[in-house]
Amino acid sequence: MEWETVIGLEIHAELNTKSKLFSVAPNHFGDEPNTNISEVCTGQPGSLPVLNEEVVRKAVQFGCAINGRINHFSKFDRKSYFYPDSPRNFQITQYDQPIISGGVVFAEVEGTEQSFQVNRVHIEDDAGMLKHFSNFAGVDYNRAGVPLIEIVSEPCLHSPKEACSYAMAVKAILQYIDASDCNMEEGSLRFDANVSVRKKGEQALRNKIEIKNMNSFSFLELAIEAEVNRQIAFYEKDPHGKILQATYRWDPEKKETVLMRRKEKAEDYRYFPEPDLVPILLDEAYIQEIREALPELPLQRERRYVKELGLSSHQAFVLTYDKPLADYFETALDITPQAKALCNWLTVEFAGRFKESGKNLVASGIPASHVAELVVLIDNGTITGRIAKSVADDMVAHPARAPAAIVAANPDYQPVNDTGEIEKLVDQVLAENPQSITDFLSGRDKAFAFLVGQVMKMTRGKASPQVVNDLLNAKIKHAAK
């Protein structure tokens, strides 16, 4: 590989506080436009911002979770720009003295654990939203003033996969500390990526392109990949050419990055300290209290699953990065200790069944106890693995029904326990396939599997594979003597 990709990510996470960053208006998504507003978040003259302490606490929790430096002094600044969704025409953000400096995020990239450096985390307020109608535009200020933390990585990500894994790990941390709903569809987690490429071994960074406002992991990965390819193609066509700094967005229809605006002149936001707010002063005792009260974090949980449950680190990662799924897993684990089997049902079987619809198991209405019950039914031999898959299909179709009840109600799901009946079928199969017996006896194991399959087919999967195995083995050996 001749080219090296350099990516820095800016992740905007809306915090799930009760009220907004600087006002008592509710912080709530999805309500009628301009209902969750106050004089502060609509920028009324005479209104003043008052910092919501809950925001500071959540930001500090995140800082502790990534082992960043929690600054004892940080302050807010005004960032000036004109846009109708910005009620004061300046955003209140933290420019040169953020609340968190540095930090590390651990992520699994294609099966390997890697660590990524965070440059800073700062607090700022979200803007409102423009709504375009046929002959006018309206502004909804419900989102204006919603607290955000912006998590800025170092330019330390070197592939779209790394960027995506890092983003997933950040999301997991936010969920574990309950700082954000991380609801991508509602825009509570949004990504901006700064992307450039350079020849391997080159010291300086080339001009970067900013891809703004991606709200899904797959868009993030696709967009960076497309952008990297575009840049490489540009430099290969024109080795002395220069890419001009610009802002792009991802067009999911065209599957390419699209130019929004050039950055010929650096935008002048005229940052200066926000005079209506006092600096955030934090003492060590406050930080220590938060640090000590941190819940289990995704990395800790992943390691626990590997160490105590014997999961592979990949299995553990797939479970833990999705906190609701990991919690679901633990609920199921209270019923059956079969951690690996459970993990497989959650992350492979059920995940596959929901993939098409875009839904997921946790939100499906299927209680964790039902999945555990399914594993128990297999484990105690009530059903075969093959029947279990059909039962799982039925569970997806009828989320409230318990697997035991599904099995009881369907004669096709009753295992054939009558050994005599199975024996007849075994005899029939052996009589019809003398060549397979010969093959097996001359050392071809596949022939045995074929014979098992034939018997299972005749029982429509209801016979215990173990019983069939045993019978076949015994009969072939007996005949060979």
Partner 1 sequence: MMHQLSARALRDEVAAGRLSALEVADYFLKRIHALDGDVGAFLRVLDARVREKARAVDEKRQRGEPLGKLAGVPIALKDNIHVEGEISTCGSRFLTNYKAPFDATVTRLIEAEDGLIIGKTNQDEFAMGSSTENSALQKTFNPWNLKCSPGGSSGGSAAAVAARMCPLALGSDTGGSVRQPAAFCGVVGLKPTYGRVSRNGLVAYASSLDQIGPLATNTDDIGLLMDVIGRHCDKDSTSLRWDAESYALEGGIQGLKIGVPWLFLEQLAEEPKKHFMAALETLKSLGASILDVDLSILKYSLSTYYILATAEASTNLARFDGIRYGVRAPEAKTLEEVYELSKEQGFGAEVKRRILLGTFVLSSGYQDAYYKKAQKVRRLIIDGYKAAFAQCDLVATPVSPFAAFEMGVIKDPLQMYLEDIYTIGINLAGIPAVSVPAGFTTDKKPLGLQLMGPVKEDQRVLTAAYAFEQAAPFAREMPPLKEVK
Q: Which residues bind partner 1 (CB under 8 A)?
A: 39, 42-51, 78, 80, 82, 84, 87-90, 139, 266, 268, 270-272, 275-278
Count of other CB atoms within 10 angstroms of residue 480: 10
- Least gap, CB of 147 to partner 1 (angstroms): 16
Judged by beta carbon, residue 43 or residue 465, the one nearer partner 1 is 43
* Shortest CB 88 distance to partner 1, Å: 5
- 3 state SS of 94: coil
∠65-66-69 over CA atoms, to 5°? 100
Cα separation of 144 and 38, whole Å? 10
Q: Minimum Å distance from CB 283 to partner 1?
A: 17
Q: How far apart are CA 318 and CA 314, in angstroms?
A: 6
- Three-point CA angle 139, 141, 147, nearest 5°: 140
Q: Which is nearer to partner 1, 52 or 257 (CB)?
A: 52
**Encoded amino acid at 326, one letter:** A
* Whole-number Å distance between alpha carbons of 273 and 406: 65
Closest approach of partner 1 to the CB of residue 87, in Å: 7
* Closer residue to partner 1, CB minimum distance, 11 or 282: 282
CB of 84 to partner 1, least distance (A): 5
User: Which string of DSSP letters, residue by residue, matches 19-86?
Assistant: B-SSSSSB--SSSSTT-S--TTTTT-TT------HHHHHHHHHHHHHTTPEEPSEE--EEEE---TTS
Whether 60 and 282 have beta carbons less than 8 Å apart is answered as yes
Task: Supply the DSSP string of 397-466, one letter for each residue.
Answer: HSTTS-HHHHHHH-GGGS-B--HHHHHHHHHHHHHH-HHHHHHHHTT-HHHHHHHHHHHHHHTTT-B-HH
Q: What are phi and psi of 72, to 5 degrees?
A: -70, -25
Distance CA 375, CA 349 (A): 12
Q: Which of 76, 208, 86, 198 lies closest to 145 in space, CA to CA?
A: 86
Our CB check for partner 1 shows the closer of 267 and 421 to be 267
Q: Work out how close the CB of 390 gets to partner 1 at its nearest, in angstroms, rounded to a whole number.
A: 59
Q: How far is the CB of 267 from partner 1 (least distance, A)?
A: 9
